[in-house]
Amino acid sequence: MLHSPTTTDRADVDPLNRPVPPYKHNPSAWSQRIPICLLAFVAALISAHLSLFQWGLIESSWDPVFGDSSNRVLKSDTAMSMYRILGIHDAALGVLAYLGDAVLGFAGSPRRWQYRPWLVILFGIDVIPLGIVSVVLVVLQALVIGQWCFLCLVTAGISLILVYWAWDEVRVSLAYLKIVWQDHHDVKLFWKAFWGSRTEQLDQAGEKLLSREVA
Q: Say which DSSP state 190 is in.
A: H
The confidence score (pLDDT) of residue 135 equals 87
The pTM assigned to this predicted structure is 0.87
CA distance 37 to 159: 12
Side-chain half-sphere exposure of 38, counting CA atoms within 13 A: 6
The confidence score (pLDDT) of residue 103 equals 95
The confidence score (pLDDT) of residue 117 equals 97
Domains of the chain: which residue ranges?
A: 27-166
* pLDDT tens for each residue of the chain, 215 residues long: 334 444 444 445 678 889 999 999 999 999 999 999 999 999 999 999 999 999 999 999 999 999 999 999 999 998 999 899 989 999 999 999 999 999 999 999 999 999 999 999 999 999 998 888 888 888 888 888 889 999 999 999 999 999 999 999 999 999 999 999 999 999 999 999 999 999 999 999 999 999 987 65
The confidence score (pLDDT) of residue 4 equals 44
What region does 19 belong to: left with phi over 0, alpha with psi -120 to 50, or beta? beta
Q: Which of 110, 95, 93 is nearest to 32 (CA)?
A: 110
- 140-to-40, 49, 134, 146, 195 alpha-carbon distances in Å: 23, 21, 10, 8, 39
The confidence score (pLDDT) of residue 86 equals 87
The confidence score (pLDDT) of residue 215 equals 55
Topology classification of domain 27-166: de novo design (two linked rop proteins) (1.20.1440)
CA distance 50 to 44: 10
CA distance 140 to 148: 10
CA distance 211 to 176: 12
